[in-house]
Each structure stands twice: as structure tokens, then as C-alpha cells.
Amino acid sequence: MALPPGASERFVQANGVRLHVVEAGPRGGPPVVLLHGFPELWYGWRRQIGPLAEAGFRVIVPDQRGYNTSDKPQGVAAYRVDTLAADVAGLLDALGLASASVVGHDWGAVVAWWLALARPDRVSRLGVLNVPHPAVMRRHLLSSPQQMLRSWYVFFFQVPGLPERFLARDGFANLARAVRGGRRGTCTDEDLAVYREAWAQPGALTAMVHWYRAALRSAGTKLPRLRVGVETLVLWGARDRFLGQEMAGMSAALCDRGRLEVFEKATHWLQHDEADAVNDRLARFLAGGLAALSG
């Protein structure tokens, strides 16, 4: 699959797994790690990689474990969120970086939240797109019937074997509908070809679903801490059909230095729907913190 202009790719050993990593931008620039969600891969940040690199950042975009050509360990336990966060810390170790800004969308945001809570020393600034703080998500899954209905697929994915067959059916048609859930035109046929190539990797569908299986089985895992101490920018597409917007403000309130910005016409696929605006907010925030966004 084609890389963005000026980008390169390699495999990096991190936390006992081999991760496929796309990099761009000046090697000495401020590092930022972009973490994709389900059912994407590094390509889910295709609209952000170039602009952030041009803004002077060292952009690091891994395929997280289980996705695309990264390693796919067997067993549900290999996909616990604390292990996924340790992958990011291990990636920083492998690249010789003490810390980096970390930005995540969907499941990538879950990992980013957790890393900021567990290892705030490794996260210089935190950006999250359309996923709530883990404490807020847990509370709403238990107390909000509406959110439980929105999250029906999480429970369906617990069934052995069936979700993989459902996702693979008709040339990954259900996954294609998911990534085409943004505004019209944000996911082209050419984009879908890239996604399908990643979904077809041996063992990928089971590994991707294991993220959900591990999440439910380890739902009682104690949070490393409740409040986020690093500067945090929460960006949220108001037309998200998977996650209720009421959780966005509650999440920002659990950050000592947090800011929420809502995009009224964007869906769950915010970085595709509002790419230019997201790039602008991220570049300013990553360079100058929350103060760069005021005024």
C-alpha cells in the first residue's frame, strides 16, 4: 500500500511483539505517536501524517498488535489494555524516546488514555478523538441503557468464531460499512482496498476482535489512577452513533488540564470528516499546549 509522500516504514520490536510502523517528519522534531482504532490501521491517520510532518513533528504511526502486518499473539489475554499501553511504551523505548505526545482515535484513544494514566512520564501531551475516559465509559456501560444499546457489538464480539465470520462475509462488507460511516466521500474505493488488504492478513480478524473480548473479560481491572495529569485535548464528533456525546465533557473534567472541542457535523470518524480542522487543532496543541488553542 502506498505511503504518504516523504514517509517510510519499518518493523520495530516493542514489548515482545514486532510492530509495523510508519514514520514521517524530521527525526529531531517533537515526537508524536498516532494510535488507530478498530477496524483501521496506520492508514486511518493518512490525512494527518503529512500535515503534522510538515509542521515539524516526528510522526510515528504503528499498526497496533493484531492489525495489518504487526504481530498477532494468540489468546485473548494478549490484548488486555495494560498490555496494549505497554506496547506504546516499548515502542518509545525502541526508538530511544523518553516521552512523546500521544494521540488516539477509537481503540487507539482507549490505549492513549490508559498510557497517560499508567505512565504519565511517557506522555508529554495527550490527544483523544471520540472515546471517553475509561472510568466514564465503565460508568455509562453499567448505568445507561442507551449506551448499552449503542455498544451492542461489544457483547456480540464475545461469541467464539461467529464475529469473525460475520466480519469476513461478502468481502468484509460489514467492516467496509463501518469505515464508510463518516461523511460522504471520506472513504473512497481506493481507501477500502487498503483496508481490505489489512483485514485479509492471516489471523487479523480474530486478533482485532480479541481487543473487545479482552476488554470485557478484564473490565474489573483497577485504573492506575483516576485523574489525568498531562495536558489533554479531547476532540469529539457530535454525530457519533457509537458513543454518546454526554461522555465527552465528563472525560475532559477528569483532566487536570483538559479542553473539549465538539464538531457538530462530524461523526465517529472525526479525523476523516474534519481533517483540516483536526490537523490545525493538533498541530497547535502539540506545539504549544492548551494555551496555543485559546483566543
pLDDT-derived band at 142, boundaries 50, 70, 90: low
For residue 67, pLDDT beyond 80: yes
For residue 44, pLDDT beyond 80: yes
* β-sheet bridge partners, residue 260: 234
Q: Could you tell me what percent of the chain has a pLDDT over 90?
A: 84
Which CATH number does 8-293 carry?
Answer: 3.40.50.1820
CA 65 to chain centre: 12
Q: Which of 210, 212, 216 is nearest to 73 (CA)?
A: 210
Please compute the mean of the pLDDT values over residues 268-285 and round it to a whole number: 97
Domain boundaries, the chain: 8-293
| Beta-strand relationship, 31-35 and 258-263 | unpaired
The answer to whether the pTM exceeds 0.85 is yes
Active-site annotation holder among 63, 71, 87, 106: 106
- Cβ 13 vs Cβ 87: under 8 Å: no
**Amino acid of residue 200:** A
Q: What pLDDT does residue 143 have?
A: 62
Segment among 12-21, 148-157, 234-243 with least mean pLDDT: 148-157
Active-site annotation holder among 20, 133, 210, 268: 268
Please compute the mean of the pLDDT values over residues 31-45 and round it to a whole number: 98
Mean of the per-residue pLDDT values of the chain: 94
pLDDT-derived band at 139, boundaries 50, 70, 90: confident
Annotated active-site residue 106? The verdict is yes
∠ CA(58), CA(63), CA(69), 5° rounding?
A: 130
- Cβ 102 vs Cβ 127: under 8 Å: yes
- Cβ 118 vs Cβ 80: under 8 Å: no
Annotated active-site residue 71? The verdict is no
